[in-house]
Each structure stands twice: as structure tokens, then as C-alpha cells.
Structure 1
Amino acid sequence: MLVFLRLALRRLAMLPVMVLGVTLLVFVVLQFSPADPAYNALGDGASEQARQAFAAANGLDDPLPVRYVRFLGDLLHGDLGLTVPPSGPVADRIATAFPLTLQLTLLGLAIAIVLALALGVTGALYRDRWPDQLTRVLSISGVAIPSFWLGIVLIQELALNRSLLPTGGYVNPADSLGGWLETMILPAVSLAIPVAAGLARLVRTAMVAELDRDYVRTATGNGLPRAVVIRGVLRNALVTPLTVLGLRVGYLLSGAVVIETIFDLPGMGKLILEGVTGGDVALVQGTVLTIAVVFLAVNVLVDLLVLLVNPRVRTV
């Protein structure tokens, strides 16, 4: 337990350093954006004198290190800047949009985990037989399918042709849980299929490797129930897929940007699209930074879970 706590604290101590690196990267990259915050705020018809006055008043012409330090100071106070007119706090827009993206990501992740375990375990238990061959075909096909294309196909087949589900929109789960599930299931499945297919192959490979170990043969030979053996094998085999799962969360978050646009969901994807098309540097900066920080936090959490479920990786 002491080793686990020491390693966990080490992982947590690295999180602020990684977040600082992400803020620097996002800030510097977006400073080279062709969009001028002064003209965005004043309008394209603003004179050069008005632009210079606005830039001087808001420190836009200060050296890059000075602007970055000021940005960090504002960030520590929860200030991500203002959107272009009509002006409003970027933090407020993110606070409204992020819960939807989080819901979509978690639902997609849950679907992906269930499918990956079902396909991967089935393939491992029926190795080189027809169920294994079928799961391989499904996994390869799922990896090859782009999530945005799958979303369009699902809309065409299940929403337009058969009218089973809505084509898009969003219903707050507090208003109607059933309505929320109806509007979220298609985008969540679109995100989950490629992730599930990739994880299923990892689960199958890890399960096969564990099933070939001596302790499994010994346990089976001593008459231990098959269900108990499989449960122990699955726990040991999930270390590698669990490690990769943190990276797949990043895929889900980035994929949600496109999927939310296809299904007309007012999440972070819509904010990024709005910021890019409107030249709103502050809005793009705030949304990208939020997604990046969440991605880092999830990966640290996954590292802690790996340490928890597998004592063999607890090396100092």
C-alpha cells in the first residue's frame, strides 16, 4: 500500500507540470492565428487607430512572455477571456457546453467497453474457431470505419428511413431520461464502434496470452471452476487494454467535436466550430485547453487504476 501511495503521489505531482505545458502549447500556437482579436471585437470596419488603441488597452501588443504570464494569472482565477461581440465570458459558454460533451464521451466509453469485452473475451475463449474469426472480422471492420461516416449512415438508416430515432438535437436528462437517451444513442454508438473494435483486439490478445500461462493450466487441472479461472484471467489481461483506454478517451473527446456537429448537439464541438469560423481566438483557446486538461486528468486516473488492479507494475 505504501508503494502504491508513493507512485500515486508521483503521478499526481506530474499533472500540474503537464497542464502547464499544455497551456503554453495552446497559447503559443493560437497566437499565430491570422484572426486579430482587436478587429474581431471592433468589427472589420474599424480603423487602424481604433485597432491600435484597443490593442494597447488590452495588452495585445505586449511581448509574448508577458501575455502568457497574464493569461496564466487570469486562468488561475477562472477567467478564459471574452468571446467576440456579443461579448460574454468564455468560461460560461464552456460550463454550458462541456456537460453535454462529457455525457456523450462517457456513454460512448461505456458502450465501447461492453462491446470490447464481449468481442475480445469471446474471441479468446473460442480461439481459432468460427466465433473467433467472426470477432476478428468485426474488429477489423470497426477499426476501418470512420466515426463521422458511421454517424451519417446511422442517421440515414435509423432516423430518416425508419424514423426510429431523432436525427439530432438534445434533450436534457433532467427533463426526460428517455428523450436524452434517444438523442444521444446514435452519436454515442458512432463514437464507440471504432474504439470498441480496437480495444477488442487488445483484450483478445491479452486474454490468449494469459490463458496460455502455467497458473491457468494448474488451476484448471486442480478442478477450479472455469468461471473463477476466467475471472482471474480477465483481471490480469485487462492491464494493457486499460492503459490504452486512457488514449482512447482522447479519441472520444476529439471525435465528439465532429459527431456533435453532425448530430446538432450544443457541446464543445459546436463551440470550437463557432470559434474557428468566427475567428474567436479566446473561444477556441478555452475549449481546446479544457479538452486537453480533461484528457491529461483521465490518463493520470487510468495510470492510478492500472497501479491498483495490477501490483506487478508497482515498481519504484
Structure 2
Amino acid sequence: MMEFALFRLPDGRAWLGEGPFTALAAAPAGGGAFYVNDFDLNDPQPWKVPARLHAITAESLGRTIHLNGSSAPKIHWAKPATEWFKMAFRRIRREVLSKRIEKMVPVLTETGTLISGNPRKLLESVMNAPGNMWGYAHVTEAGGFLGATPELLFKTHGQTLETMALAGTAKPGQQDAFLTDVKEIEEHEIVVRYLTEQLQTLGVVQREPRTLCQTAGLVHFQSSIRVKLAQATDPAQLVPLLHPTPAVGCLPRNEAALAKLREYRQQLKVPGFFGAPFGFIEKDGTTHVVVSIRGICWEGDTISLPSGCGIVGGSAFDHEWRELRLKREAVLRLLALHS
């Protein structure tokens, strides 16, 4: 199979679309299409209608994409260099402290070399990810990306929109300190405020109390947000309204701050899939779009594993560096990836 896309819901339902894909600017009325774009939304036709669409399970995956006989990839990882990231951290923190920006998310990417095996085999782990995660993948002959994310950008069904703020990170076992951590709460509430402001233009916004989301070896603050839409809204217009949220981008989300964010992402060689929206529209029009984190990408024998951290006024380098490592380790565990 030359090109395919995969999307798995937390309830286990999943779809795999085989190429060639027909690219569209708007979601097709009949559904059955994937939303695939990069972080900067460079693709003006991000809705991809597959030539064939399969409803799949973890059991039928291997037969559908002919994984039988493939072995899991073995990867030799290079130690991530601190200098570029440290420089970006210092500059961003200076901007935050001088009140020019409120928050920005730089990304560190660890790279590795594929020694043996097939990265497509990792789709088995994606299909078996925990029940509070969404699985995603887009694979071509030359490479691809895949992962399982705990972060929903939005779900629409009829005139109801659901989203979440997912920001603030700790290791399981550190919940007590985390629950009162001023820096982590501030980072979370920035995202809540942003989403509420953006969504107020569409209808009445209801926010659930802040809770803990534990998934794949990490704990996050999570706030569920629901909107009764004043009118049915095209999902293609919702993506640029919400993306990038301050959980993966910056605040304020003006052109100057976004240009700076893009500059840091280029300097730090961040893969385009990371933090980008990815989604699927069901036949009944229910649309799911997630934020592509907790994943890897590959091109030829080069594997990339990105992780990001939110820098706000209370951020300290050592703490953020540790958080980046925890996030990458969580991905390796999630995908059962051993070097």
C-alpha cells in the first residue's frame, strides 16, 4: 500500500483510508475523509478522500496494510543537543518577562537512525493506545508520521462543539505538588482563556472544572469545554480559528508572535506534523480533529521524535528540559519502541 491515513477514536473505532487521495478545500458532505495538514496550515486542500476506506480493528490492521512478517523498528538515537534549545528558551523567557508575549512553546526534536525493522509496525501500538487517546497516522512510500495524542482540538456533531484545554505536565506520583503548582496552573489557564475567547464568537461556551488526565505515563491538567453553536459551522473554518492553541503555539496569537514561533520551529528543525491538526469526518458528519503530539515521523532511515514545553513567567530551564525528556520517554513507551 503506497499511501494511507489512519484515525482511531478513544472508544476504539478506527478507519484506514487507502490512496490515491482526492484533495478538497472543504469537508465533503458524505464524510469518510481525513484532515491532513502541517503546523503552518500550508495545504489549501487538507481534506483527503481515500480511494478505499476500511473500518478497522487492532486485529485486522496487520492484514489490511500487510504488516505480517514485518518486525518492530530498532533505532539508534542521538543525544539531543542543548545549545540551540537553551538559546531559544532564554530568548522566549526574556520576551515573556518583558510582557511582549505571555507564552510560547519551543520544540526539541531528538533524531535517530533506523537500524532494522519497519516503522509501519508501530501502528499496532497506535491501535492499542490507552482509551483516552486518539490514534493518527499518514504514511507514504518515502516516510510518514504516526502517534497517539491525548489532545482534542475539536469535535463537532450537529450544533455541538467539544474541545479541551490540555496543558501543564507532571510525572505520575507527583500529583499533590502538581495540583498546587502555580506555573503549571498558569500555563493551563492561559489555554482555557484563549479557547473561551475564540469560541465565544460561535455560541454559548461552558467550561467544566479543571481535572487531571493521566495517560501514557504523564499527568496533565485538562478542562473540557463545550459550545452550543449558534449555527452549523464548516470544520474547515474551525481549524484556523483554534489552531494553534497556546498549548502548542503562542499567546498572543498575532502575526508577530506566530512569525517568531515559526522562526524557532525552523531553527530547531521541528517536523511539520508536530502540533498540527489531524482529523477524520464520519459518514454522519461528526468531525474529530486532534493535535498531533506524542508521535514520531520518519523519512528514509531518519527518525524524528519531537517534544514541546510551554514557557511562561515561572519557567526554569532544568524543569522544562526534564519535562521534554519525560514526554519523549512517554512516546517511546507508548509505541513500545526500544533502541
Flag the structure with larger Rg. 1
Structure with the bigger percentage of strand: 2
Return the TM-score normalized by structure 2. 0.22
More helix by share: 1
